[in-house]
Structure formats: C-alpha cells, structure tokens
Structure 1
Amino acid sequence: MKIFRFIKYLFIAVLLCCFSVNASDSVRKLKVSLLLEHEAFLVWYGIEQGWDKEFGLDIDLSVKDVAGIDLMNDMKVNSGAWDVGGVGCVPAVIGSKGLDISYIGIGNNEATSTEILVRPDSDILRVKGANPDYPEVYGSKETIRNKTFFIRKMSSASYILSNYLELFDLAYNDVKVVDGNPSDFVNYMNDGNGDAMILWSPSTYEAQNNGYKAAATASQVDAIVPLLFIARGDFAKNNPQTLARFLAMYDKAVRIQKNDPQSLVGPYKNFLKIYSGMDYSDEFCLYDLKAHPVYTIDEQLKLFDSESNMSAIEKLERHLISRIAMISMQPDAKYDPKEYKHDPSDLFLKIAKGIVDSRK
C-alpha cells in the first residue's frame, strides 16, 4: 500500500510542478450539466464574472430543472452528455450503477434546504415530537400511514422519505409513493392530489408561497445530503488539470459566499429568473444562500482524506450502499455493493489547491 501511495503522490507532485494558469495555457473546453439549484448559481456566477476564462476554461453550462437521477440517465443514454455533473449523493452513488464516474468535489450541503411539505391543514402537522428523539419532526404512525407522497425516485427524496418513515416504524408499503418531476408537484397538490411532497430549493419557495408547510427537513431526519461534483471516468483520467481548474474557479465563488453572501443576492435573483422564469424575493435568496453550507478546497480535502482512516466521502458512500434496498424501494431485492463503489479520489482537489495557493 505504501508504494501505491508514493506513486500516487509523486504523480500529484509532478502535476503541481508543471501546472499553472496563465495566458499561454490553452483554453480547455468543459461541458458542465447542473440542476436548477444553488450550486449551479455559483458556477453560473463564476462564468458571468469571466472566471472560467481566467482559469483557462471554456465552460458550456447546461442548467436543467430536473432531479439528479435524470442527469445520470442522460449519461446512460449518451456517454458524452456531460464532462462534469452536479447531483445529490443518492443519484451519484445509487444512480451510477453501470457508469464509469469519479467523485471530484463537493458543491454544498442540501440537508437544511430539502423538505417534506404538506398542506397547512394536514393532520400530519397536528402531532410534533411523536418520536421523542426527533422533537422537531411532525407526524405520527397514525397520521402518516396511507398518505400519498410525491417524490422523485432514486433521488435524495427516496433517502429522506425512508428515514422519515423509519422514525415511526413505517415502511414504503405503509404509504403510497408517486414518482414524478419535482417541478410538477406543487401543481399536483394544488389540484387536490396527494398529501405530501419532497422538494429542494428553490422549488421549496414556490411551495411555501402556496401555503405548504414543512413537516421535516432532511437534516431533521438524519439524511446526509451533500451535492457531489462528478466527472466521466474517461474524462477524469485524461483531464485532471481541467477538472482542477473547474474546482479552483468554484472555490473562488465559495469564498465570496462564505465572506459576503449579501453581495450575491442580486446575481442569485437574476440566475433564478433566467432559468426558472420566476421572481424570488431578496429575503429568500439571502436565506437560501445561507441555508447551503459550502466548503473551500481545504475543507473538502479533509472530507476526502483517507490516509489515516476511511474518508468522510467513503463513509457516506458505504452508508448509502448499505441502505440501497430502502432507497430503491425494493426491500427484497439483492444488490452487489461492489457495483456501486467508485473509490473517491482527492487527486483533483490537490491539484486545485496548488492552483489556488499559487494565486494568493
């Protein structure tokens, strides 16, 4: 093992020594596909500021109002659909079966901005703290049983719902689950269909404006929901420096959000208007920026570090694989854990750190 680590870090050292971003570097094209949510804004903002060119990139950004599993399915249909994708941890791990991908970084944490939403007169809201270990969670075995939940299957919503039901000793066969596009859920509920829906921001804003209330957030039911940046396996092998430039550009936006989120409110409103067609309030935009913890490259490296023990990302992957039967809603199915394991690498973050440090 030591010789492999030596070779790995020798390779990293060579890359760091020969790599710098300057005017003479050739521009590297990068096809990035992201969901209509917070991390896509930070990438879009970087492009608007010209940082992609500053880092020697020519980014073709696609922002889609879908779920992460849909981006994974795009890759299954067309292996060249994107070079870098941003998806929640569930589609990244569980939805990647049969795909050659690499986890390259973390976009944010969505655990506080993903919610189980119900009508304001729902009997689910009449009971709070039925499970004393989760005093902020609404619902009980009696009020949840037989309810209809709108979710996007094989997304973080599946994971969150499985955790929520388990708090009350319930399973999927105790409720009705309807799969669909999250962008349609508010309309479904407004038409009198279903009892609950699981949404992530900014879709939660429309739901709240329509009067829907949160029965629980992902964090309140112990669902860990980081947004992972992933890359096509072949692209990652052949273009580590390009991916590092992308992560370095993202780090620049992350540091602004950490230090001065107020300055991003106006641009965030513009981004949401462009891609959703909706007007969002200043208050929501500031709240949503603060509700998405982000991580500098140094912080991400700690989460990817596996030198002394299993890294946090490896532990997350193992945890999700252990819950695959519940997440996939097929408790009796047999799964081979090895088919879902991708061995996270800190290579791209290490190169990105060299870029960032060289610019200080």
Structure 2
Amino acid sequence: MKKKELLIYTVILMLVISACSRQMHTEKDRQEEKTAGQTLTPLRVAVQPYYISSAVGYVMEKGLDKEFGLELIPVEYPSGAEQIVDIEKNQYDVATVGAAFLYPLVENKGVVIGEHICSTGGDAIYVRNGSSILDVKGFNPTYPEVCGDLETVRGSKILMNVNTTQQYLGMKWLESIGVKKSSVKLAYGTFEDNYDRFLKGEGDIAVLSAPYSYRAEKEGFQKAADTRSLHTEIYEVILATKEAHKEKRDELVRFMECLLYANEMLEADQEKKIEACGNWYKSQGQKVSRENLEAECKDKLLVTRENYEVGQFGDFEMKYAEYMAAIGNIPPIGLPNVEANVDRELFQEAFAGGEN
C-alpha cells in the first residue's frame, strides 16, 4: 500500500513539475516571439540610486524594454545635480530627474519630454528636537502647519542638495516664513551626505528626501514643513538631451510608452511595486527597510494613464520656473526658453500609444 501511495505521489509531483516547466517555457517563448527578428535600439538612460529610477530598474530587470524594441543602458549618477552637468557631454540620451531639469531648459541645453512620478510626499524640512523653530507654527496663515519665522531661523545653517527638489522645497519654506536667503547659511551636499552630516550634529536644519526623511523621523528629528504643508506638488520628469531629442524621437516615445506600461503594472499591484523598489535600491547598494519602502511607494505615485491628465503636462515646469525666477535663482529672461523646451507632443503621443 505504501509503495502504491509513493508511486502515485511521484507521478503527481512529476506532472506538477512538467506543468510548471511548460508555463516557464511559454512565458519565455512569448518574450522571444515578441522580440524575434527585432533589432534592438540602444538608449542610454541616466539613473539615480533612488525611487526616482526604480521603474526604469524594473523595466530592465524584467526585459520590458525589449518588448518596445529598445535596449536600455543605465548611466549611473548620485543625483540630478550631476546629471545636468553632463547633459552636453554625450554621456546619456535621456534621464529620470527631479527639479534639476530647470537649468538645462533655461540654458537651452535639454528638453523635458514627460513626467513619470508625482512626488507629493517624502521631501521634508527637519530640525533638531527642542529647536525654537518648532515653537512658531502658522506664522504665515496661508501655511498653518508650517513652523518657523525670521527670528527663529535667522543665522541657521541649512543642509540641502543644490538644483534638486530639496532646494525647491527649502527655498519655498524660507519664502513662506519671510526669510531671505541672505539671512541663513546654505550648505550643499548629496542626499546621503546631508543626512549623515545632520545625524552627526552638523547644521540646524536639513532638507531631506526619501528614504532619508523617513530615517530622520526614526532618529527623533522634528518636521518643520513638507510638500503637503507648503501646498507644493512636485513631479519627477523625463529629460532628453538636445541631440537625442533631435535624432532619437521615435526611441524617446517608445521609452515613455514602456515606462508608462511598467508604471501601470506597478501601480496596479502595490506588493509588486514595493518589491521592484526594493530590488532597485538593493542593486544600487542601498539597504532600505520594508517600512520605508511601503511609505515611499504610498507617498509617490507613478504616473499612469488612469491617475494623470496628460493635458496638464507642462504646468508644473512653468510654475516651478516662474517661482525660481521670482526668488532670483534663475534670470527671468530664461523663462521663454523653459516654455520652448517642454515638448508636450512627445508625451501626448506616448499616452495615446496605449498598452503594448
């Protein structure tokens, strides 16, 4: 009897293995069929070791780029500040970047062709526990949840990353509480460097982005303001070099179609999104806790055809440019260049492409 049961179990196990094998081969065959006979076009993508490039990481991990006739080649940078330095050096074709996009547009060196993340959360301004800044809340009634005023902030040393959404948020916070740049000391560094320096006791205030903002709260630092309390909507954008925009139009549209395809898959399955984000951080040598991954994936929506109105594309770029011109960070004469270097047509075409 036992031999008979063992035989039956063995047969069932073999059938299961065979079925799984067939399923794996079917998936492999499907991928091969979609790319059979295709000549893949290389496209160099400037990426950062953060959430901003996690969907690109997922595309490469799963080979989705090949389904769109592309071979994505990652070019790694620590942040957007370094990406824009290289924009005319032929190091990459397209980049996933934050607020650093503005300066190439002003100087007529790059073109924003799309938006791929709505970063409504994750960026915040932190002070040390017991700071007098926390004693003043709602100084400006337009921002009732924001802490600080001129008296409590004057002379403070503020850590932030130049030419990024950190700088944008930090400058908007200072403006909201009536503090001019000349009244504080600004110290610039990378995202990680700013966090480490603040943790070690340097500076009075730090403008931090995820995942460092989540870590700061666990260390007991207090939030003085964030994107929501400052009524600020921030988008991460897709920035093309002038050369790629001129010579690789079709590839850029396919890249954005591919990214939308990946975004829609990830937003439809939060567990898959968290896993993809974690895999990207891990591939970049970063350890991020499950709790922080969940928070970032919740705070920052990937742009999809369901949660984004393509007709709004370009609004954020112009509002941001006008704000930066108003506070003296860019010359007002550069605003027409910003408008001219936001290509709405390519993103609309990618949106109209539907699922591959």
- TM-score (structure 1 length as normaliser): 0.81
- Out of 83, 88, 91, which is 1:71 matched to? 83
Post-superposition CA distance 1:241-300 (Å, at most 9, x none): 21122112211221123222122223322321221432x222211111111122224665
- Out of 82, 96, 117, which is 1:86 matched to? 96
Structure 1 equivalent of residue 228 of structure 2? 219
Q: 1:276 to 1:217 in 2, by over 3 A?
A: farther
Look up the SS of the partner of 1:201 in the other structure.
coil
Post-superposition CA distance 1:11-63 (Å, at most 9, x none): xxxxxxxxxx8634321100000222223111101111111112211111134
Give the residue type in structure 2 aligned to 1:348.
Answer: L
Q: 1:327 to 1:202 in 2, by over 3 A?
A: farther
Counterpart CA distance in 1 for 2:115 and 2:339 is 17
Matched, 1:197 2:209: no
Deviation at 1:102, TM superposition (A): 2.1
Structure 2 equivalent of residue 135 of structure 1? 144
Structure 1 equivalent of residue 46 of structure 2? 33
Q: Conserved in 2, the CA contact under 8 Å of 1:118 and 1:196?
A: yes
Q: Conserved in 1, the CA contact under 8 Å of 2:174 and 2:180?
A: yes
Deviation at 1:191, TM superposition (A): 2.8
Deviation at 1:115, TM superposition (A): 0.9
Give the residue type in structure 1 aligned to 2:153.
Answer: I
Post-superposition CA distance 1:214-254 (Å, at most 9, x none): 21112321333211101112212222221122112211221
Post-superposition CA distance 1:61-84 (Å, at most 9, x none): 134322x122111224x1x11101
Deviation at 1:176, TM superposition (A): 1.3
Counterpart CA distance in 2 for 1:299 and 1:346 is 18
Q: Conserved in 2, the CA contact under 8 Å of 1:314 and 1:343?
A: no
Residue pairs, 1:319-330, within 5 angstroms? 319-325=319-325, 329=329
- Out of 269, 273, 287, which is 2:295 matched to? 287
Q: Conserved in 1, the CA contact under 8 Å of 2:108 and 2:337?
A: no
Structure 1 equivalent of residue 345 of structure 2? 347
- Pairs aligned (count): 323
Give the residue type in structure 2 aligned to 1:261.
Answer: Q
Q: Conserved in 2, the CA contact under 8 Å of 1:128 and 1:138?
A: yes
Unpaired runs of at least 5, structure 1? 1-20, 306-311
Look up the SS of the partner of 1:146 in the other structure.
coil
Deviation at 1:156, TM superposition (A): 2.1
Give the residue type in structure 2 aligned to 1:41.
Answer: S
Runs (4 or more) in structure 1 with deviation over 6 Å come to none
Counterpart CA distance in 1 for 2:276 and 2:301 is 18
- Out of 61, 77, 96, which is 1:48 matched to? 61
Give the residue type in structure 1 aligned to 2:354.
Answer: V
Q: Conserved in 1, the CA contact under 8 Å of 2:157 and 2:186?
A: yes
Structure 1 equivalent of residue 336 of structure 2? 338
Counterpart CA distance in 1 for 2:40 and 2:341 is 29
Q: 1:313 to 1:265 in 2, by over 3 A?
A: closer
Matched, 1:238 2:254: no
The alignment-based identity, stated in percent, is 23
Q: Conserved in 1, the CA contact under 8 Å of 2:105 and 2:111?
A: no
Look up the SS of the partner of 2:354 in the other structure.
helix
Q: Conserved in 2, the CA contact under 8 Å of 1:159 and 1:327?
A: no
- TM-score (structure 2 length as normaliser): 0.82
Q: 1:224 to 1:95 in 2, by over 3 A?
A: farther
Structure 2 equivalent of residue 273 of structure 1? 282
Q: 1:162 to 1:53 in 2, by over 3 A?
A: same
Q: 1:335 to 1:151 in 2, by over 3 A?
A: farther
Over alpha carbons, which structure has the higher Rg? 2
Structure 2 equivalent of residue 296 of structure 1? 304
Q: 1:96 to 1:183 in 2, by over 3 A?
A: farther
Counterpart CA distance in 2 for 1:41 and 1:251 is 13
Q: Conserved in 1, the CA contact under 8 Å of 2:195 and 2:208?
A: no
Counterpart CA distance in 2 for 1:281 and 1:235 is 37
- Out of 124, 134, 141, which is 2:133 matched to? 124
Look up the SS of the partner of 2:240 in the other structure.
strand
Larger deviation, residues 182-191 vs 345-354? 345-354
Unpaired runs of at least 5, structure 2? 1-33
